[in-house]
Structure 1
Amino acid sequence: MKKSFHDLITNHAIPVLVDFYADWCAPCQTMAPVLKALASELDSKIKIIKIDVEKNQSIAQKYQVQNIPTFILFYQGNVLWRQSGAMSLADFKHRIEQILTKY
């Protein structure tokens, strides 16, 4: 059974990082290995999901995603942090870990 986006961002005991991307987006492709590394390094601390803005325009509009990649960190449905654009693994991990210390 396919879960709704709302279920994906609210029904987790850990924060959920959403990557809003598109297949044709070069910076999005650059971030793919960074996200993979982030997922393995923060394995039990966050869940990462990818949302294709082309296929999920209503979700992108709801969260006012105007640039891609855009990353939004949710915890139980609440936005904890958001950032647009590519980042290094070190910067990304540092920012996420700063937020996670509060949860």
Structure 2
Amino acid sequence: MAKSLDDLIRTSALPVFVDFWADWCGPCKIVAPAVQQLAKEFKGRITVVKVNVDQQPDAAARFQVQGIPALMLFVGGQIQWRTAGAIPYQQMRQEVLKVIG
């Protein structure tokens, strides 16, 4: 089991989709159901992780999160895609498919 977000990103056999969010963030709440849907649809193909930036500010700083929600997809420890702000599910899904095929 990965001890930290860095360990998970570096060691995961599956691509890792990370949602950086906070309780007070309205757009984060809007995007949350799409992230859950993504986790369901791609179960076994990607790992979906939510990181609360208020509880883990070091992780947010390491990945240069400027605005939230910040969505990132890592493959083999390397960032392959990132965006900030709420995006619709279909766009999120298309970006994941571009990366994982």
Q: Which category of TM-score, normalised to the shorter sequence, fits these structures?
A: over 0.9
Secondary structure of the 2:90 match is helix
Secondary structure of the 1:66 match is coil
Give the aligned partner of residue 82 of structure 1: 82
Runs of 4+ with deviation above 6 angstroms: none
Counterpart Cα distance in 2 of 1:19 and 1:92: 11
Amino acid at match of 1:23: D
Counterpart Cα distance in 2 of 1:35 and 1:46: 12
Q: Which runs of 5+ in 1 are unaligned?
A: none
Residue by residue over 1:27-76, the C-alpha shift from the partner in whole angstroms, topping out at 9 and shown as x without a partner, is 00111111111111111211100111111111111111010000111112
Are 1:95 and 2:95 an aligned pair? yes
Counterpart Cα distance in 1 of 2:87 and 2:21: 14
Structure 1 residue 2: deviation in Å? Answer: 6.9
TM-score (norm 2): 0.93
Counterpart Cα distance in 2 of 1:5 and 1:95: 21
TM-score (norm 1): 0.91
Aligned-residue identity in percent: 39
Give matches, 1:1-40, under 5 Å. Answer: 3-40=3-40
Q: Which runs of 5+ in 2 are unaligned?
A: none
Aligned CA-pair RMSD: 1.3
Counterpart Cα distance in 2 of 1:95 and 1:25: 23
